[in-house]
Each structure stands twice: as C-alpha cells, then as structure tokens.
Chain A
Amino acid sequence: MHVHVKRAMSLSGAGLMPTQALADWTINMPPGVTGTSNEIFNLHMTIFWICVVIGIVVFGVMFWSIFAHRKSRGHKPAHFHEHTFVEILWTIVPLIILVVMAIPATATLIDMYDTAKSDINIKVTGYQWKWRYDYVDEKFGYFSNLSTPQEQIDNLAPKGEHYLREVDQPLVVPVGKKIRLLLTANDVIHSWWVPEFGLKKDAIPGFVNEAWTRVDKPGIYRGQCTELCGQGHAFMPVVVKAVPEADYNTWVAEQKAAAEKERELTSKDWTMDELMARGKKKYETTCAACHQVDGGGMPPTFPALNGSKVATGPVDGHLHRVVYGVQGTAMQAFGKQLSEVDIAAIVTYERNAWGNKTGDMVTPKQVLDYKKQSSK
C-alpha cells in the first residue's frame, strides 16, 4: 500500500523535478587523471579517427553510387565483377591498419598488468550492495555505502548534484603513489570502476584480482559498480578521494585511532539513548534500503520490521537473523560485516523504533556473548 502511494506521488512529481538544469551533454570518454587513463584515451581517439576515415571512404563511395548510379537518373548497370587485385588489396590494407592499432594497445595492456613495486595495498571487497575497503598494511577498514537519501530516489525530494554517486565514506588515497588494489567479492560478481583512473576490474567471489593506479591530481573521483549484481546494482557507487601525501598520513593516523576506539566501545557502558541514536544512523545506512526508513519494508521480498514478530519477539531470535541472515533470501549475514556495537545499536533501535515499543536494550556485550555461544 505504502509503496503504491509513494509511486503515485513520484509519478505526479516527476515532471517537476529540477533535474534538467544539472544534466550535461558529455559525449566522450574523460581523459582522466592517471597515466593509464591518458593512454587509454589516446588509444580510444586513435581508433575512433581511423574508423572515421574508413567510414568516410566506404560510405563516400556508397553515397556517391546512391546519388549517381540510380535507375531514375538513367544509369545503366555495369557488368564488372570479381577483381583479384582489388580483393587482395582490401584484405591486406585492413590487416596492416590492424597491426598498427595493435602495437600501442599491446604496450598499454602490458603496462596495465604490471602491479609490481606498489606503495600501498588496499583490499576492495564487493558486497550486495556496497564496497568495503581494507587498508591491508595499516590494519583498518570500513564499508562505503550510498549516501543518497531514499527520498531523492523516490522523487520525493530534489536530487542533489552527486545523485547516486555519493557515499558516506570514500576510499582515500594519496596522490603520486602506486596503489595496488586487491579485488574480491563476498557474494556475487561486482566490478569496481572509476572512469577517470581508467581502472575497471571485476570483483569475483573466490578470486583475488589485482589492479593498480597512480593518481596525479588531488580531487574526488566518482564511478560505480559495473557488473549486474542484483537489485541494488545501480546503488553502489565508488567514490575516491585523492589527497596529498601529508593529508593522507594524517587521515590514516586518525582512522587507526578511531578503529582502536571502536574496539574499546564494546566494553563501554551504553545508555538506551546512545544506542538508539547510533542505531538510527546505522539502520538508515545499512538496513533502510530494503526495510525502509519507516520500517515498513517492501513486502513480500522485504518484510516490514514495524510490528514484526522478529523485532518484537525474543531477543535471541532477532539477533540470529541479523548475525546469520536468512538462507535463500536477500537477508545477509551481518555478523562479520558489522561490529558488535553496531549490531547492538541496530537491534535496539529496531526493537524500540516506530510502533515497536518493547523497551529492550541490547548491549554490545550481549551481542558478543550471543556470537560466542551460538558459534560453538
């Protein structure tokens, strides 16, 4: 019911959205900000112009014939056919053009595959439907979720400048360093792409793919998943923030400290208000895409949480769903994706938000104990 109302509203509102002002007429590939992307751009343009020239010659002859050699102009058909020299010529000449194209393409490809001597290693993991970045050498990592509000997608709010290409936490890299990415996936195949780096590589479960990049210019670069990975495929952008090395080092230090603090949070004494506040935030980034901000879900695929038996029943049952997921449905196992603190906050929030007034407070310690006991 709710979805229908939303959809009707979005239909009536569609014509009013000020999207046109932001659109543009880009017709070509960006040259990009890495050596690789520039090489690819040059290859692309070379091949494009070769095709244009061939096209002009072939279509030129054809259009001339269409114009001049028509019956209505009284043109009598010639009788020639088969000409060995011409036929050999139009086999050999394209072959030579192909060889000319293949040489720079080969050089670029070999360069793209050379991942040796990298300065920084980052593990990129595709999840339905978000990316996780792990700084392997620094021992911290985080998820990068779409941060466009659902109202914008449903046409209930004006769309922002970076609609569908914005995340809560971008990947941060230093400029001028060779960054080696190790790509894999948790569930289905994803593909990590930033057009301005000229870097696209599939993230495949059970495989670790390698790719590298060296960003020359500080800035924020946007791309998105390019391998169909289910219904959230359009909603898992890639955002990379390239910063000067000094800024990067400061950021890494902050992240390491924050990761340490996060680990300490598990043993902290939490109040209901703190858990609810954190839970609301985490719920909206992690759960709301399916279960909706108002807990109404999108039945039958995504059940409502508001008033559901799980969210108002025994705490252990609720924890089990969140930690281990539900086999054969879109409900993932969040036990390894989220910290104990976040699971505690989300479960507490779900049991007390909307019409669910159970009054239960689930602490991080309880989650930890539940995990230990249930994994035995």
Chain B
Amino acid sequence: MSAVIDTHTEDHHHGPAKGIMRWILTTNHKDIGTMYLVFSFTMFLLGGTMAMVIRAELFQPGLQLVVPAFFNQMTTMHGLIMVFGAVMPAFVGLANWMIPMMVGAPDMALPRMNNWSFWLLPAAFTMLLSTLFMKGGAPNFGWTFYAPLSTTYGPPSTTYFIFAIHMMGISSIMGAINVIATILNLRAPGMTLMKMPLFVWTWLITAFLLIAVMPVLAGVVTMMLMDINFGTSFFNAAGGGDPVMFQHVFWFFGHPEVYIMILPAFGAVSHIIPAFARKRLFGYASMVYAVGAIAMLSFVVWAHHMFTVGIPVAGELFFMYATMLIAVPTGVKVFNWVATMFRGSMTFEAPMLFAVAFVILFTIGGFSGLMLAIAPADFQYQDTYFVVAHFHYVLVPGAIFGIFASAYFWLPKWTGHMYDETLAKTHFWLSFIGMNLAFFPMHFLGLAGMPRRIPDYALQFADFNMISSIGAFMFGATQLLFLFIVIKCVRGGEKAPAKPWEGAEGLEWTLPSPPPYHSFTTPPEVK
C-alpha cells in the first residue's frame, strides 16, 4: 500500500523525500497512515500465527504440540498483539488517511507528533516480542494480566511487558490528541459538528475515550511495576494489598477499550452502507447520539467482567442494569443500518459484503453480549468459551470486517487503482465461512462447560474443537489472499476515478485518486 506515488508530486512545490528516510522522517498524514496500516497488518499476521498455534494444540484432546506454559504465552501474546498491535493501529491508520480528507484539511494538525506516535509502536512491539526469547518466556497470564498471577507469580519478562504497554499507551494518547486537534481545528468552512461525516464523529468520540482510559492502563501497569520491583503491595494480599482492585482498575480501562475497537468501525460502516444502497443514512443525528450514549455508558459497566469475584449484590445489580442499557443505543445503530438498506438500490461489491456481514455478525455478538449481561446467567458463562465466542464475534466480524470493508472502500482512493473484485469477493466468502466455522461452535463449547485458556480439555469437547480449528485455519490462510489483493492493487490495475462508487458521498471523493500529497491546499466550501 504505497501511500503516495511519486509521479503526482510534480504538481507541488515539494514532495516526499526519497528512499527509506521518507518513511522515517515523514510528517505526511498519508505516509503515516500507510505505515500504520502496514504495521497493523503485519501484527495481524503475527497474532494470527499465534492463534494458529493455539488452534492446532486444541485440534484434539491431549497435549500434542506445545507445553501448557508455552500455550499460555501464545494466548497472552495473541490477545495483546491483536488488541494493541492489529486493531487499534489499523483504526489510527484509517483516521490518518481519511480524517484530513473528510474534513477538507491539508494534513493532520500535529504532523511531527504524528510521526513520533507511529514510530513508538515498532519499538514497543519489538520489546514485547523480545520477551518470547527471554529466560522464563513471554507473559503467560492472559491479555488481562490479572494480579497476582502477573506480579508475584509472573515471569521475569513482565517488566519488559510493562514498559511496552507504556509505550503503546503514549502512542495511543498522542494519536488521539492529534485526531481531536485535527477535527476541532481544521474542518472546512461550513462544516459544523453536525455536518461531519460519521467516521469523523466516531473517531472524535473514540479519541476522547482513549485519552480518558489509556492513563488508567498506565496506572495499573505502574502499580504492577512497583509490586514486582520495588516491594509495594498494591495487589499482594499478603502485604495488605487487594487483588480485586487490580481487576477494577484494569476493566475501568478495559471496557471503554472495547468500544475504542468498535466505534470507528461503526463510523466506516455508516459510510459504506449508504454508498452501496444508494440511499442516505436513515438517521444521522440519532447515530451520533447513539455513539455518544455508548461512550458514556462504557464508563459505568466495567464490573460486568467481574460478576464472579464476589462484589456485593447491589453492585451486581447496578452493573447488570447499566450493561443491559447499552443494548438500547446499539440497537438504534443496527436499526438505522437496516433502515438505510431498506428500499435502497443495493449492489454487493466487497466493501458492502463486509459491511453487511459486519451488521449481521456484530448483532449476533451483541445478542450473546446481552445474555452475558444477565448477572445470574453470567455465573455460568463467565470465563468459558461462550465468552470467547462472544468477543470474537464482536472483534473479528466487528472490528476486523469493519477494517476490511474500509480498506476495500478506500483502496481505489489511496492507490488510484481498482482492486480485483473477484479476488476480493473470494476473500470475503472464505473469511466469512472460516470465521463462522471457527467461532460459532465456541458458543456450544462454552455452554457445555469448557473454560477458556486451557491447552487440553475433557473428551466431550473434542468434536466442536476440531471444527473450530479447521475454521480457524481456513480464516487464517485466507488473509494471505488479502495481502496479495492489496499488493496487486498498489502495483497496478484499472484506473480509479475520483469517485469510484456511485452512491458515495463526502469531501474525500472530490479529490483525484490518488489524492495530492497535501490533500486540500485550499479548504473546500461545505454548504
């Protein structure tokens, strides 16, 4: 995905530097966006490889390939890499590419900080991945790193993990500041807040969530650092500390984090569905308010991850009710998408296929989420494969299908070429089948009583695990096809017009494909 092709830089007084220094020193929003996206896809393949190790071990009961200690490192690293390395940077990459073009700006508001916030990520992940080769191995306590398993009982590499998390957090906060500054200061004349494209709206809200919760994550890992290296007892019961406090602090970060990973996808899908239905989004204002409501509620539901830790019954009831309330604005969004499709004039190119699958499968994840919100029932679901099925349904066909839909939607704009539609549809169908085959049986496994994060299981779980593994291998292998499609599209293909999609709307489509190096040098007028 070469962001900007050198040929069209002749039109401008200066263009990108040559060679590797272009990428190291760049302050251009498109170059940085491209680097974010390439980095994210690399991490996606790496985290996916770890998922393949997990599914290969779980293919049959018994220990075949790895020892339990290494299995735990795989589940932990898979989670951390997918959350912090694949999904979050992909959305920052999309934000970098699209927000300036959508609001009619020449670039992001803080270009040098933009460069730094990207380059922190390779450093952070190099440090995180290096723990795999350390004595005692990589972090092995799950991506939620509950104390005291991660403190008193953690491997020596935990301190490196903490430092890596700090760097990722700084990177995210700087990215969020940049997004907010760009949106609030660089909008084209006439573009009031309630005229902003929904992708911009969802990112604005996401950025505020990031600024609110990343410091909380930094706080909790710092407390861990103190417990491990400086003799404090924040989470050590033997020293008067409180292991449950860890979970409260972690999930105060963790739940808004879930929405950080989905809200930008909501925004992107709200562009794609109207474009391919050739019909206006049904309720723009209610979509904006729904996202706002979800973001607000995300701060008061954290303890629904902790229904079994023994919080008082009044607490359980509060968090149960608050969590159930999230279904209301989420429902509003789903109804809006369906109402937009209703009586449209639809075609089903790859972005639309991914967007429709997003709506259907995310809703299924929403249903299981509602079931999990019911505290008494959660006592049965908690920490089983039902939870694994639930969050993979909201993250894979949710966040990741949202990213694929966005990538196909905007690839012609980014590269100036149309991608190969047949291959892209193949990519969709193989992903769709593989993903459902991998994750749907996990609902059954969880309900039948299989806990998560185990390398070996009782025999009654054998059949569905085998199916799940086959689906996972299929989904994993299919993603190499995406790499091929993107490379093919970057290298050539049918020339893309400024607006390759009949029903698409927004300022980004008024620019040529690919767009000039400094997107809008004179701000467009928005009526």
Chain A residues within 8 Å of B, Cβ to Cβ: 3, 7, 10-11, 14, 17, 19-20, 22-30, 36-37, 39-40, 43-44, 47-48, 51, 54-55, 58-59, 61-62, 65-66, 69-72, 75-83, 86-87, 90-91, 94-95, 98, 101-102, 105-106, 108-110, 112-113, 128, 152-155, 159, 161-165, 187-189, 191, 193, 195, 198-202, 204-207, 209-210, 222-235, 298, 300-301
Cβ–Cβ < 8 Å partners of B370 in chain A: 47, 51
Interface of chain B residues 396 through 454 with chain A (CB within 8 A): 443-444, 447-449, 451-454
With a cutoff of 8 Å between Cβ atoms, the chain A residues found around residue B316 in the complex are 109, 113
Question: Does B363 sit within 8 A of A, measured CB to CB?
Answer: yes
Query: Within 8 Å of chain A (Cβ to Cβ): is B64?
Result: yes
B181 within 8 A of partner (CB): no
Interchain CB contact under 8 A, A163 and B458: yes
B368-390 interface bits toward A, Cβ cutoff 8 Å, 1 = contact, 0 = none = 00110011110110111000000
Residues of the A chain whose Cβ atoms lie less than 8 Å from the Cβ of B376: 36, 39-40, 43, 105, 108-109, 112, 198
Which of the 9-residue segments B41-49, B98-106, B320-328 touches chain A?
A: B320-328
- Known interface pairs A87-B283, A159-B61, A159-B459. Does A234 touch B68 (Cβ–Cβ under 8 Å)? yes
When distances are taken between beta carbons in the complex, the residues of chain B under 8 Å from A36 are 376
15 sampled A-B residue pairs with Cβ under 8 A? A19-B459, A23-B463, A29-B380, A62-B359, A71-B346, A108-B376, A109-B317, A188-B153, A200-B379, A202-B308, A224-B458, A231-B67, A233-B453, A233-B454, A234-B68
Residues of the A chain whose Cβ atoms lie less than 8 Å from the Cβ of B279: 77-79, 81
CA distance A110 to B347 in the complex (A): 51
B278: chain A residues within 8 A (beta carbon): 71, 77
Check if A58 sits within 8 Å of B345, measured CB to CB: no
Residue contact B62 to A162, C-beta cutoff 8 Å: no
Q: Is the CB of A91 within 8 A of B328?
A: yes
B residues near A229, Cβ cutoff 8 Å: 149
Report the interface size class on chain B.
35 or more
Q: Are A206 and B335 in contact (CB under 8 A)?
A: no
Query: Contact between A55 and B367 (Cβ–Cβ < 8 Å)?
Result: yes
Bound: A95/B380 CA distance, A: 25
B463 partner, pick from A7, A24, A102, beta carbons under 8 A: A24
Give bound CA distance, A98 to B380, whole Å.
Answer: 20
Which of A23, A65, A225 is the one whose CB lies under 8 Å from B338? A65
Which residues of B sit under 8 angstroms from A113, Cβ to Cβ?
A: 313, 316
Instruction: With CB as the reference atom, state the residue of chain B lying closest to A105.
Output: B374
The answer for the CA separation of A298 and B137 in the assembled complex, in Å, is 14
Q: Besides the contacts A162-B458, A189-B243, A233-B68, what 12 more A-B pairs have beta carbons closer than 8 Å?
A: A47-B377, A59-B360, A61-B338, A70-B348, A188-B152, A191-B382, A198-B379, A202-B310, A207-B243, A207-B244, A209-B309, A235-B456
Which residues of chain B from 24 to 66 have any CB-CB distance to chain A below 8 Å in the complex?
Answer: 60-65
Pair A90/B331 contact, Cβ less than 8 Å: yes
Given A112-B379, A164-B456, check contact A91 B347 (CB 8 Å). Answer: no
- The answer, yes or no, to whether B277 is at the interface (CB within 8 Å) is yes
B304–chain A nearest beta-carbon distance, Å: 12
Question: Given the complex, which residues of B lie within 8 Å of A199, measured CB to CB?
Answer: 379
User: B281 on the interface (CB 8 Å rule)?
Assistant: yes
Interface residues of B (CB under 8 A from A): 60-65, 67-69, 71-72, 135-136, 140-142, 146, 148-149, 152-153, 237-238, 241-244, 277-286, 308-310, 313, 316-317, 320-321, 324-325, 327-328, 331-332, 334-335, 338-339, 341-348, 356, 359-360, 363-364, 367, 370-371, 374-377, 379-380, 382-384, 443-444, 447-449, 451-464
Question: B327–A77 contact, CB under 8 A?
Answer: no
Taking a contact as CB atoms closer than 8 A, the residue among A40, A75, A187, A191 that contacts B377 in the complex is: A40
Q: Which residue of A lies closest to B502 (CB)?
A: A71
Cβ-neighbour of A188 out of B69, B148, B348, B457 (below 8 A) = B148
Closest B residue to A204 using CB positions: B243
In the bound complex, do residue A82 and residue B309 qualify as a contact, i.e. CB atoms below 8 Å apart? no
Q: Are B237 and A23 in contact (CB under 8 A)?
A: no
Q: A24-B460, A204-B244 are in contact. Are A109 and B342 (CB under 8 A)?
A: no
Could you tell me the distance in whole angstroms from the C-beta of A161 to the nearest C-beta in chain B? 7
Pairwise interchain contact A90-B371, C-beta atoms closer than 8 A: no
B345 touches A200 (CB 8 A): no
Q: Which of B343, B453, B463 contacts A20 (CB 8 A)?
A: B463
Contact B457 A232 (CB under 8 A): no
List the 6 shortest-distance A-B pairs measured between CB atoms, nearest first. Answer: A206-B237, A234-B454, A23-B462, A209-B310, A78-B343, A51-B367
Find chain B residues with CB under 8 A from A71 CB: 278, 345-347
CB nearest to B278 among chain A residues:
A77
Kindly report which residue of chain B lies nearest to residue A22, judged by CB atoms: B459
Contact call A201/B462, Cβ cutoff below 8 A: no
Beta-carbon contact of B69 and A65 below 8 Å = no
B243 with A205: CB separation less than 8 A: yes
Contact indicator A14/B64 (Cβ below 8 Å): yes
Residues of A within 8 A of B281 (CB): 81
**Complex CA–CA separation, A274 to B458 (angstroms):** 35
* A43-B377, A61-B338 given; A70·B371 CB < 8 A: no
- Known contacts A40-B377, A98-B324, A113-B313; A153 and B63 CB within 8 A of each other: yes
Question: Using Cβ atoms and an 8 Å threshold, which residues of chain A touch B339?
Answer: 86
Q: Using Cβ atoms and an 8 Å threshold, which residues of chain A touch B343?
A: 65, 69, 75, 77-78, 80
Contact between A72 and B347 (Cβ–Cβ < 8 Å)? yes
Query: Is B60 within 8 A of A17, CB to CB?
Result: yes
CB distance from B279 to the nearest CB of A (A): 4
Expressed in whole angstroms, the Cα–Cα distance for A342 and B321 within the complex equals 51
Smallest beta-carbon distance B418→chain A, Å = 18
The answer for the CA separation of A164 and B63 in the assembled complex, in Å, is 12
Q: Is the CB of A226 within 8 A of B374?
A: no
A186 nearest CB across to chain B (Å): 10
In Å, the complex CA distance between A101 and B370 comes to 10
**Chain A residues with CB under 8 A of B460:** 22-24, 26
Please report the C-alpha to C-alpha distance between residue A11 and residue B65 in the assembled complex, in whole angstroms: 7
- Is A102 a contact partner of B321 (Cβ separation < 8 A)? yes
